[in-house]
Amino acid sequence: MNNNTQKPQCGTDCGQKFEKELEKMSPFEIKNTLIDYAQQHSKTADATFLNAGRGNPNWICTTPRRAFFLLGQFGIIDCHKHSLYDSADIAPIPQREGIATRLMSWLGDCQTASFIKRAIAEAVKMGLSGDDVVYEWVSGIIGDQYPSPDRILPATEVIVSHYICREMCNEDTSMGIIDLFATEGGTAAMCYLFNTLKANKLLNHGDHIAIMTPIFTPYIEIPKLAEFGFQVTEIKASSTDRDGYHTWQYPDSELDKLKDSSIKLLCVVNPSNPPSYALDDHTHQRIAEIVAHDNPDLMIITDDVYGTFVDGFSSLFKRLPYNTACVYSFSKYFGCTGWRIAVIATAEHNIFDAMITKLSENECHSLHRRYASIALQPDRLKFIDRLVADSRLVALNHTAGLSTPQQVQMSLFALYALLDTDNNYKKQMQSLIASRLTTLWNNTGFQLKPDKLRAGYYTEIDILLWADKLYGSDFAKWLTEHYEPIDFVIRLAKETGIVLLNGGGFDGPEWSVRASLANLDEADYDKIGRHIGAMLEEYASQWYPEN
């Protein structure tokens, strides 16, 4: 197989002792070592350095960006129209009254102008005032004011709430009021949630939590930090089909671990990272039943950044809004990792607020003192507002919040998706990812089964599974006895210039590798697939002489 590919030469100067030490690190830190190896190879060999280790996309969504910059141009011009200063470099802040009318008369008939007009009309349908929306956009882009409210700008919250209900909750309009906190990307959201859960005594040092694995590594690493020291139970996606292939779903035997009422928090990335599969209906139902009958106080964090890559996606936030805080980042779908824009969403009535009211008298007094400087009735401060305060160590609550230009771009992204009633953009994104994924797998010589729950933003390939399927169980056993699991990605980097991450670092199968399908062109995934298959074949060629 893969006869048209030059086989990589086996053998590295890395001993197993070094590889064992490397495996203790986060795959995102190991990545730097792999990049060094791959770049060295590309300098000395006729090969291209290909880094499929990171998830930042190599596309951008253009229309909302053009709107952002056009609104910025209008804002500067409009401010100068009201200037009292005899200077080309100084202008007053934007004026609210009549600003929507002024924008409409200033806009031309270009495609971007048409989008802005439609976006304003859509916001008005949500009950917002045209002047309020345009003023928030223009003032936000100009960036002359602190974010107010600090949690999220008013029009942005309404717009993004509609977006979350559509994309994360499968257009469920019965969710009721949801509260949003705009954050500096999903990573900031994670940090804020863990810190505020601990600061508000909802999680204490040594408490029991669960994570659904494989999972984005910070959810593995944060609980181990000294300030948290959580006891962690893994809920493993160990289900396989009748042929022994991974489905990346969760058997009841794993989900039933959540019946243990000592587990206070469940963390899930849905669709998963790195397997990139959405939770199936049975998993949703099983978790809901466990919450209803066995563990009603279970708090849930669901990180749903890849949900838009699955048709009909539905978050645990929809199924269990009372128990769940939803994290959503715009970064992957809209190609804006540099913008750092995300939200934390909670239902108006939620378990986090309810659990705070159940704290002991001493704990309540402690929290009263913590937030007394920012609220007349600190005991009534909602959990999501505590997140905002804690993000700035409470003392700087008055200057908290995501920068206003970031929030404007976020609202424009949301409106763009809401106006795309035919899902043309979504179809293009899903098609792009699916084509790259198919190209990679077709060239490995391995089999990828169809699955409507697969997002495909990443792919996790279990090398040991394919060693067994293609060469037999004796070879698979020999492979584990003679090599460390990380050896595969090290050799791939050193001998082909390709960087993948080790799936074991995500608490997936130890011999799995993770590739991003987002940041390279399709022709590159052709090469990556061929080299993965050829690398496994090269290991097998070493085994054959002995057998």
Query: What is the pLDDT at residue 193?
Result: 98
429 and 349 both lie in a single domain:
no
Check whether 489 has a pLDDT greater than 60.
Answer: yes
Report whether 152 contacts 182 (CB < 8 A): yes
Distance CA 517, CA 34 (A): 18
Rounded to 5, what percent of the chain is helix, strand, coil?
50, 10, 40
Q: What does 345-382 look like in DSSP terms, one character per residue?
A: EEESS-HHHHHHHTS-HHHHHHHHHHHTTT-SSGGG--
Host domain of residue 91: 63-145
Spatial distance between the Cα atoms of 122 and 514, rounded to a whole number of angstroms: 40
Clarify whether residues 326 and 277 are in a common domain.
yes
pLDDT band for position 273 (50/70/90)? very high
Of the pLDDT bands very low, low, confident and very high (cuts 50, 70, 90), residue 108 is confident
Task: Give the pLDDT band (50/70/90) at residue 4.
Answer: very low
Q: Which CATH number do you get for residue 110?
A: 1.10.20.110
Across the range 433-438, mean pLDDT stands at 98
Same domain, 182 and 224: yes
Confidence check: pLDDT of 546 > 70: no
CA 175 to chain centroid, in Å, comes to 22
Q: Let me know whether 231 and 194 are in one domain.
A: yes
Same domain (yes/no): 513, 495:
yes
Q: Is residue 396 part of a domain?
A: no
pLDDT > 90 in the chain, percent: 84
pLDDT for position 287: 98
Which of 97, 119, 145 is the endpoint of a domain? 145
Return the CATH number at 520: 3.90.1150.10
* 8 domain residue, yes or no: no
pLDDT at 38 over 90: no
287 and 349, same domain (yes or no) = yes
If asked whether residues 123 and 168 sit together in one domain, one would say no
Q: Count the Cβ atoms, other than its own, within 10 Å of residue 372.
A: 14
What pLDDT was estimated at residue 5?
Answer: 43
Q: How do residues 190-222 score in pLDDT, each as one tens digit?
A: 999 999 999 999 999 999 999 999 999 999 999
Instruction: Flag whether 340 is in a domain.
Output: yes
Query: Average of pLDDT values for 47-73?
Result: 93
Total domain count for the chain? 3
Residue of 487, 483, 481, 484 lying closest to 500 (CA atoms):
487
In a domain, 366, yes or no: no
Task: Assess contact for 287 and 255: CB atoms under 8 A.
Answer: yes
Tell me how far apart the 2 most distant CA atoms of the chain are, in Å.
88
| pLDDT higher than threshold 90 for residue 77 | yes
